[in-house]
Amino acid sequence: MITSSNPVEIINQLKATVGSQNYIEDTSQMESYLNDARGLFHGMSPLILKPLNSEMVSAIVTLCNEASIGIVPQGGNTGLVGGSVPSKSGLEVVISLERMNKIIDIDPINYTMTLEAGCILSEVQNAARDVGRMFPLSLAAEGSCQIGGNLSTNAGGTAVLRYGNAKELVLGLEVVLPDGTIMSGLRRLRKDNTGYDLKQLFLGAEGTLGIITKAVLKLFPLPADKATSLVAMSDLASTTKLLAKLREFSGDNITAFEYIDRACIDILIEQTDLEDVFSQKYQHYALVELSSSRQDANLQSLLESVLEAAFVDGIAIDAVIASSETQAAQLWRLRETL
Ligand SMILES: Cc1cc2nc3c(=O)[nH]c(=O)nc-3n(C[C@H](O)[C@H](O)[C@H](O)COP(=O)(O)OP(=O)(O)OC[C@H]3O[C@@H](n4cnc5c(N)ncnc54)[C@H](O)[C@@H]3O)c2cc1C
């Protein structure tokens, strides 16, 4: 909250800190920063700041701390719980990380990427792919959410089973603390067993403990073989049984396993151009994906044999296995459109 005796002076200092091209003061241009995408959360703010580097973020936070001005860090503003939208008081400034969007270094040998927090997730995925590596975090908002937001929400996405949540994909962080100090911890070491793991405090903290300005991310080998299937399950309990079976017989090559119920499919059919995959209606479905960096992993036939066993056990009652990447993408649209 702004409690400074001279808020106008503080606002002017904040504007001078970022420079005339890097803030929005005109409320008519603030709409996308003050409302969430679903129209559930609405706020007000005197100023949207768009710093260009960590030093600017530090200077802003120092000023705000001294003047007791509330700060809302904002990434792509795709969060679903209103954490990126300021309150209606109109007393909090928004710090958008959108102009801190540089990839600083990609190291395909060490499987790491060092980058600024405002990088868009899909651009991070593409940059990794360009050097033959993969950044596995994937979610339907990937075209607009930012790495800083992903780390601050400990985002999950569709590949959590294999690669973990966002907090498991980070080796190092640079964070601006609430007093403006820059905490520098851009470590690239995997076997790092020194002292406290302070970075974990900021992952999933929704910006409450500091502003993430840079990160070192883990990269992985690109998958060379994939198998995707939509499976109709006999009941809800069978879903977890199928997951356990797939883990056991696929050499733990399961990347995604998404439960979808009939109500979701009905909504998709009613509200989008998507159609039922099966000629018959089922109550419970699992969208399954196996992947491996080995070209000869033969995942398609492995998936077929696990599903055959699941039919025999009465766990699964119907299945479609994608025969091409296009068909796999069609199955994934069910999940991504939800
Ligand atoms: C269509 C759709 C699908 C989605 N699917 C998923 C999904 O599968 N899994 C999932 O987990 N989420 C999902 N989400 C939610 C959302 O996309 C994620 O939470 C995403 O990680 C938010 O990133 P963002 O950059 O938009 O962050 P924002 O929404 O801008 O911010 C989210 C929170 O992080 C804070 N923050 C942002 N940047 C920083 C920073 N640099 N430092 C400190 N704090 C910061 C904000 O203050 C806020 O509290 C989905 C959203 C949509 C719209």
- Judgement on whether residues 70 and 142 belong to the same structural domain of the protein: no
Is residue 214 assigned to a domain?
yes
Residue 269 φ/ψ, nearest 5 degrees: -65, -40
Residue where a domain terminates, one of 201, 221, 241: 221
pLDDT value at 5 more than 80: no
- Which DSSP string corresponds to 18-40? H-TTSEE--GGG-HHHHB-TTS-
State how far the Cα of 258 lies from the Cα of 240, in Å rounded to an integer. Answer: 11
What is the pLDDT, as a whole number, of residue 251? 81
Determine the average pLDDT of the residues in 151-158.
95
Residue where a domain terminates, one of 53, 78, 96: 96
* Structural domain boundaries, residue 204: 103-221
- Judgement on whether residues 239 and 277 belong to the same structural domain of the protein: yes
Is residue 267 assigned to a domain?
yes
What is the pLDDT, as a whole number, of residue 37? 87
> Which residue has a Cα nearest atom 36 of ligand 1?
149
Is residue 88 assigned to a domain?
yes
Locate 71 and state its tokens: 């700060």
Determine the average pLDDT of the residues in 102-119.
98
- Judgement on whether residues 107 and 196 belong to the same structural domain of the protein: yes
Q: Look up the ipTM and state it.
A: 0.99
Residue where a domain terminates, one of 190, 205, 221: 221
For residue 214, report the distance from its CA to the centre of ligand 1, in Å: 16
CATH number at residue 254: 3.30.70.2190
Residue 39 CB neighbours (<10 A):
7
- Judgement on whether residues 124 and 200 belong to the same structural domain of the protein: yes
For residue 77, report the distance from its CA to the centre of ligand 1, in Å: 6
pLDDT value at 123 more than 70: yes
Determine the average pLDDT of the residues in 235-263.
93
pLDDT band (50, 70, 90) for residue 4? low
What is the pLDDT, as a whole number, of residue 250? 87
pLDDT value at 170 more than 80: yes
- Judgement on whether residues 299 and 241 belong to the same structural domain of the protein: yes
CATH number at residue 107: 3.30.465.10
- Judgement on whether residues 266 and 210 belong to the same structural domain of the protein: no
For residue 104, report the distance from its CA to the centre of ligand 1, in Å: 22
> Which residue has a Cα nearest atom 50 of ligand 1?
141
What is the pLDDT, as a whole number, of residue 143? 97
- Judgement on whether residues 36 and 127 belong to the same structural domain of the protein: no
pLDDT value at 113 more than 90: yes
Determine the average pLDDT of the residues in 20-35.
97
Determine the average pLDDT of the residues in 196-225.
97
Q: Which residues pair with 183 in a beta bridge?
A: 175
- Judgement on whether residues 115 and 217 belong to the same structural domain of the protein: yes
Q: How many domains does the chain have?
A: 3
Among 145, 258, 272, which residue has the most ligand 1 atoms within 8 Å of its CB, making it the best to mutate? 145
Ligand 1 binding site (Cβ under 6 Å of any ligand atom): 37, 72-80, 83-84, 97, 117, 139-141, 145-146, 148-150, 152-153, 155-157, 206-207, 211-212
Residue 1 CB neighbours (<10 A):
10
Atom of ligand 1 nearest to the CA of 72: 47
C-alpha torsion sign, points 117, 118, 124, 125: positive
- Is residue 94 a contact partner of residue 33, using CB atoms and an 8 Å limit? yes
